[in-house]
Amino acid sequence: MVGSRWSAPPPGRRRGPELERAILDAALEQLSTVGWNALTMEGVAACAHTGKAAVYRRWPSKADLVAEVLRTGLPPIGEIADHGSIRDDLLWLCVRMRDVMESRAGQALRAVLHECDHMHAGRFHEVIRAGLHEPAHRLIRELVQRGIKRGDVRPDVTSPFVADVIPAMMMYRAKVCGSEWLDPDIAEMIDQVMVPLLRT
């Protein structure tokens, strides 16, 4: 009925998952352009073309919103197919890890960690741990076991420190040195560090 208060919402009005996705995309855009310190809930709402109340209803604070943006934005490493050797398996794993770190969300995460205060840093480190470090460690252990069964990894490589080497080196070069991981650098790390470690 015309004029009824039960009339349908205006066409094009976003609700539910569609609106949430728009807010998350807007927050990632804001992180990429203004950074953690200058990001505001009002700015995100404006970028998403919605009211700030819609943002606060879903995420009570900026830290809550940013953690969700980074958690959902990091691409998964995925599984590593059997390429026939531990060298090639680890090479593919490192390329996947680099892709995660260099994704838009990965770059935003590193920028946030540089900018945010100590109170919030632990929360965002947890995003790295759950989204990158834990999957990488699990995959490295699986690839080593696959190599042992295949016969190109020595059977006594059981120390948990072995799974730390690649993530530690990649994060050190990326975060501390500010260096990019080019394909030749990844190949050199695998050939000069990991293969001798696993096969000697």
Residues 117 and 186 in one domain: yes
Instruction: Tell me the H-state helices in the chain.
Output: 16-38, 41-48, 52-58, 62-73, 86-102, 104-115, 118-128, 134-150, 162-171, 183-189, 195-199
Condensed to tens digits (0 to 9), the pLDDT of residues 13-30 reads 667 889 999 999 999 999
Dihedral sign computed on CA atoms, order 116, 121, 124, 129:
positive
Residues in the chain: 200
Residues 83 and 145 in one domain: yes
Q: Which domain holds residue 53?
A: 16-72
CB 69 within 8 A of CB 28: yes
Residues 80 and 154 in one domain: yes
Question: How far is the C-alpha of 44 from the C-alpha of 40, rounded, in Å?
Answer: 6
Q: Would you state the pLDDT for residue 14? A: 65
Question: How far is the C-alpha of 96 from the C-alpha of 62, rounded, in Å?
Answer: 29
Residues 47 and 92 in one domain: no
Higher pLDDT among residues 78 and 175, named by residue? 78
Residue closest to 110 by CA, chosen among 162, 175, 53, 163? 175
Question: How far is the C-alpha of 35 from the C-alpha of 108, rounded, in Å?
Answer: 8
Residues 20 and 94 in one domain: no
Condensed to tens digits (0 to 9), the pLDDT of residues 108-137 reads 888 888 888 887 888 888 888 899 899 999
Residues 57 and 125 in one domain: no
**4 DSSP assignment:** -
Condensed to tens digits (0 to 9), the pLDDT of residues 160-194 reads 999 999 999 998 887 777 778 899 999 999 999 99
Residues 129 and 170 in one domain: yes
Domain tally for the chain? 2
Q: Would you state the pLDDT for residue 113? A: 82
Condensed to tens digits (0 to 9), the pLDDT of residues 129-158 reads 899 899 999 999 999 999 999 999 999 998
Residues 66 and 137 in one domain: no
Confidence of residue 200 (pLDDT cuts 50, 70, 90): low
Higher pLDDT among residues 109 and 47, named by residue? 47
Tell me the CATH number at 91.
Answer: 1.10.357.10
| Token pair belonging to 154 | 């020595």
Residues 107 and 193 in one domain: yes
Residues 170 and 183 in one domain: yes
Q: Would you state the pLDDT for residue 25? A: 95
Residues 97 and 31 in one domain: no
**How buried is residue 5: exposed, middle or buried, by Cβ count under 10 Å (0-12/13-18/19+)?**
exposed
Question: How far is the C-alpha of 170 from the C-alpha of 189, rounded, in Å?
Answer: 10
